Amino acid sequence: MADMQKQGSQGYKRDQVIQIINSVIDRVHEVDQENLQRQLHDLKKIIEGMREELRTTRPLDIHSKHIPVASDELDAVVAATEEATGTIMDSCETIQSLFDSMDQATAASVEAEVTKIFEACSFQDITGQRITKVIGALKAIDDKVSVILKLVGTEFPGVGGAAGAKAAESEDESGDTEGDSDGRTGDAALLNGPQLPDQGISQEEIDRLLAEFD
């Protein structure tokens, strides 16, 4: 990335490149080398096409629209499941308050089922944590895209933008421009759950592990 920045600041600008290409094309025309002229024309078309494609893909939308929308939607999922879970548990507690009006056998059976519902409601905690991790990943993608937009914007005006530049400058200041590590150490590095299936260990394995300390 540092090499790209260096090249960008010391190399030719876009307009200079086009000027040079046009100049070469003019001279090629004079010397009547048709094949070379055609190739240079093709090269020019490729560069212009690339610029147009970058512009039409609206990369700034990733930062200004897509990532925020995705984050908001996920936040809404967490809020909705929390509300629904609360409603379910309200109903369970209402049922529990009726135990005294039931005979003992019925109350015991209903209690067992209500317990299962409470256990199942823990999904909200797990999904909430997973969604929080996804939102964090989206933020990381947003930051990286902003850095790329800043670099692309330097060479192709109109493609990148101030938002990308701002994010990139922020990242430049922190010195965090590459690498997969999030830089956490010590106890903080232990916070990675919930693990996906087969990434963590089971309750039985945890029990065995704890027993080894005794």
Partner 1 sequence: MVRFSLLRDLEKGERKVAVDMEMNVLIVDDYKTMLRIIKNLLAQLGFRNVDEATDGTMALELMRNKKYGLVISDWNMEPMTGLELLKQVRAATDQNAKVPFIMITAESKTENVIAAKQAGVNNYIVKPFNAETLKQKISAVLGAF
Sites of contact with partner 1 (CB under 8 A): 82, 85-86, 89, 92-93, 96, 99, 104, 107-108, 111, 115, 118-119, 121-126, 128-129, 187, 190-195, 199-203, 205-206, 209-210, 213
- Shortest gap between Cβ of 208 and partner 1 (angstroms)? 10
- Shortest gap between Cβ of 122 and partner 1 (angstroms)? 5
Comparison of 4 and 95: residue with beta carbon closer to partner 1:
95
Comparison of 22 and 87: residue with beta carbon closer to partner 1:
87
- Shortest gap between Cβ of 202 and partner 1 (angstroms)? 7
CB 118 within 8 A of CB 89: yes
Comparison of 11 and 136: residue with beta carbon closer to partner 1:
136
Comparison of 16 and 115: residue with beta carbon closer to partner 1:
115
Residue 74 buriedness (CB in 10 A; 0-12 / 13-18 / 19+): middle
- Shortest gap between Cβ of 99 and partner 1 (angstroms)? 5
Comparison of 85 and 146: residue with beta carbon closer to partner 1:
85
- Shortest gap between Cβ of 189 and partner 1 (angstroms)? 9
Comparison of 49 and 193: residue with beta carbon closer to partner 1:
193
Structure tokens at 161: 């933008």
- Shortest gap between Cβ of 185 and partner 1 (angstroms)? 13
**DSSP state string for 21-71:** HHHHHHHHHHHT-HHHHHHHHHHHHHHHHHHHHHHHT-THHIIIIIHHHHH
Structure tokens at 188: 């903080």
CB 147 within 8 A of CB 161: no
- Tokens 């330097």 locate to 154
Torsion (CA) 158, 162, 164, 170 in degrees, nearest 10: 150
CB 149 within 8 A of CB 164: yes
